Amino acid sequence: MIFETILIFLVIILFLVVSHELGHFLVAKWFGIRVDEFGIGIPPKAWGKQMGETLYSINWLPFGGFVRLFGEDGDEDNPRSFSAQSFWRRSLVVAAGVIANVIVGYLIFTFLAWFGTPQFAVEVSEIAPNSPAETSGIENGDFIIGFNDGITNPGLEDVMSFIDSKKGMKATFLIEREGELYEFAAVPRVNSPEGEGSLGVRIGIAQKGFERVAWYKAPWTGLKRTLTELSNLVEGIVFFFGKLLTTGSSPGDVIGPVGIAVVAQEIFSVSIIHFLTLIAFLSLNLAIINILPIPALDGGRLLFFVIEKVSGRKISGKTAGVIHSVFFVLLIVLLLWITYKDILLLVS
């Protein structure tokens, strides 16, 4: 189990890192910039092979990767140097990794829209005899997909809250049964037998179908899904750093590499579709994190370019290198802290 978890995690990291760094690599090559090294993982180096002008390496720490460009840390005047390129070319090379991760997420969501994705809903799995649910006509296997107060596609908490709020009052449930829609009215009990609940049902989340769109609609569906997930991720990042800066603690639902590895193994064992969805989500997450204007990340490098452009003064490679290094250490400390919380959660 542990070996499988580690292997699946490494495959995910390898895929995300390679796609991200490939973005930098391809755009740099497109502009004629010399790429000195394409590295997977963080040094020390485990293996390397020189092919043409580029060294391709695999490094021991599997949490990242890099593309080392000729002249990126200096003031080289060579036309093939990164530092000799225009503001827009340098910015595009740096942003290309983020763009690549967004494209990967979009392509996966587009494929899933065409191939099909499971749809889940709240299912009635058990009905107590002579309960309001049985009297109303609700049956085992029915899906609760709406209420008379306008809520559609409710979750478990929505259903339970609705039932609780309607004790002693008429409640209308929109039910899906074998593809057909029905409405059933019931009055949840104020006082109910122990273990039955006011409606007299046992409910859970279950798959109710498999939804897919035509191939020509899939790109648009994939785009909408990508934009929605990006919006949710931005909100999550803002919430995370807001709480971190104001309280000094992170939200309890934030997971790091260990947590991701465990979740990935569990999802992989359930469904390849859900596993692909996780990869798409992680790819978009990597894009959002990397575009943050924090030194050591792609967004931090872009911030430096903007400062140079506005001020008209170039930041020395030495100064930029020191700032990026300091923030890189801080990010590693943050990563270790989140990983420590992951481990505590697993062993508790």
148 and 69 belong to one structural domain: no
Q: Is the pLDDT of residue 254 over 70?
A: no
pLDDT-above-70 percentage for the chain: 93
pLDDT-above-90 percentage for the chain: 51
325 and 207 belong to one structural domain: no
Among the candidates 151, 179, 211, a domain finishes at 211
Q: Which two three-digit tokens encode residue 76?
A: 């080289």
180 and 233 belong to one structural domain: no
In a domain, 90, yes or no: yes
For residue 291, which phi and psi values (nearest 5 degrees)? -85, -5
194 and 262 belong to one structural domain: no
For residue 201, which phi and psi values (nearest 5 degrees)? -130, 155
Q: Is the pLDDT of residue 38 over 90?
A: yes
Q: Is the pLDDT of residue 55 over 70?
A: yes
pLDDT of residue 250: 57
Q: How many domains does the chain fold into? A: 2
In a domain, 216, yes or no: no
Asked which of 93-107, 188-202, 241-255, 331-345 is least confident by mean pLDDT, the reply is 241-255
pLDDT of residue 122: 92
pLDDT of residue 208: 81
Q: Residue 128 maps to which CATH number?
A: 2.30.42.10
Q: Which two three-digit tokens encode residue 182?
A: 């029905």
230 and 155 belong to one structural domain: no
289 and 328 belong to one structural domain: yes
**What is the radius of gyration, based on Cα positions, of the chain?**
26
> Do residues 13 and 283 make contact, with C-beta atoms less than 8 angstroms apart?
no
pLDDT of residue 149: 65
pLDDT of residue 284: 96
128 and 99 belong to one structural domain: no
200 and 122 belong to one structural domain: yes
Asked which of 53-62, 188-197, 205-214, 239-248 is least confident by mean pLDDT, the reply is 239-248
Residue of 34, 71, 75 lying closest to 54 (CA atoms): 34
Residue of 274, 267, 262, 281 lying closest to 339 (CA atoms): 262
124 and 103 belong to one structural domain: no
Q: Is the pLDDT of residue 46 over 80?
A: yes
Alpha-carbon span 69 to 67, nearest angstrom:
6
Q: Is the pLDDT of residue 191 over 90?
A: no
Residue range 27-47: mean pLDDT, rounded: 93
- Structural domain harbouring 127: 118-211
Q: Is the pLDDT of residue 151 over 70?
A: no
Alpha-carbon span 280 to 211, nearest angstrom:
18
85 and 20 belong to one structural domain: yes
In a domain, 89, yes or no: yes
In a domain, 20, yes or no: yes
pLDDT of residue 296: 87
Among the candidates 159, 191, 211, a domain finishes at 211
Band of residue 39 on the pLDDT scale cut at 50, 70, 90: very high
- What is the DSSP annotation of 44-60? EEEEEEEETTEEEEEEE
pTM for the structure as a whole: 0.80
> Do residues 126 and 44 make contact, with C-beta atoms less than 8 angstroms apart?
no
In a domain, 75, yes or no: yes
